[in-house]
Chain A
């Protein structure tokens, strides 16, 4: 599942690394749009825009639906936030917990050493 996490993040970041794709997300944040409309807005060919949308779709950031002859695009299920982010949050919680546990364990070890030296007070 760590691989799963990493792959998801990779896909998302790769998708976000391109200015046009970020623009498309922004655009879709304002309103849904067809591939044709997006292509026009970004002065691109249909094929070029289809590719960008494909990358965003694979990363789960955008979802598309064919309605008649038009492919409508909207913001995706945002799984990055929903799933990956909570697992990472959970990991960070445990990381912080274990950091605190380390301190307690260090203290107990020190105390044990002292007790060992003078046979408990």
Chain B
């Protein structure tokens, strides 16, 4: 995209992640396409599996089943090298074509979050807002720590910098 503004003052392409409150995380991004198409990519397994697990995640998606309707279930199985595959699953609570999806994340039992995604189309582009509501602050904190453990090196440079500066910190 060129530097010219298109009436929106916000940087359009950037992905943002915000901890809105103790229990909420919000991810936003604009996708260059109509909501109808973006929605399709979120709801058809053969499309979904092509983007949900980017290479940098260091995992592969072994299987992906999605029954996208209210009360329908989904199940994603991730492979992580030689370790045991991990399953992520839940139920769709709301399905509004081209504009809204709500699902539960049941793999963590009671600590699982409810995810709401909205698709808002403007001038051929779609503003995607993904909202995760955790049952408690502790659940979100735990998920964060888990994510930090499960996800690969990307931001590790900063960690490493700190560790190097703090020397021997690794011991503690």
Contact = CB atoms under 8 A, between A and B. Distances in A.
A86 B17 contact: no
The 10 residue pairs across chains A and B that have the minimum distance between CB atoms: A100-B51, A96-B54, A29-B167, A86-B148, A91-B17, A105-B33, A95-B15, A29-B166, A101-B51, A1-B19
Given A80-B158, A101-B51, A25 B166 contact: yes
A96 B56 contact: yes
Interface of B: 14-20, 25, 27, 29, 31-33, 37-38, 40-41, 47, 50-52, 54-57, 128, 130, 144-145, 147-148, 151, 154-155, 158-159, 161-162, 165-169, 172
B147 A28 contact: no
A93 B18 contact: no
Nearest to A22: B165
B41 to A, nearest CB: 5
Interface of A: 1-2, 4, 12, 16, 22, 25-26, 28-30, 61, 75, 78, 80-83, 85-106, 108-109, 112
B80 to A, nearest CB: 14
A85 B158 contact: yes
A103 B154 CA distance: 21
A100 B53 CA distance: 9
22 contacts: A1-B18, A1-B19, A2-B16, A29-B165, A29-B168, A30-B168, A61-B166, A78-B162, A81-B162, A85-B148, A89-B147, A89-B154, A90-B27, A93-B54, A93-B56, A93-B151, A98-B15, A100-B52, A104-B41, A108-B37, A108-B40, A112-B37
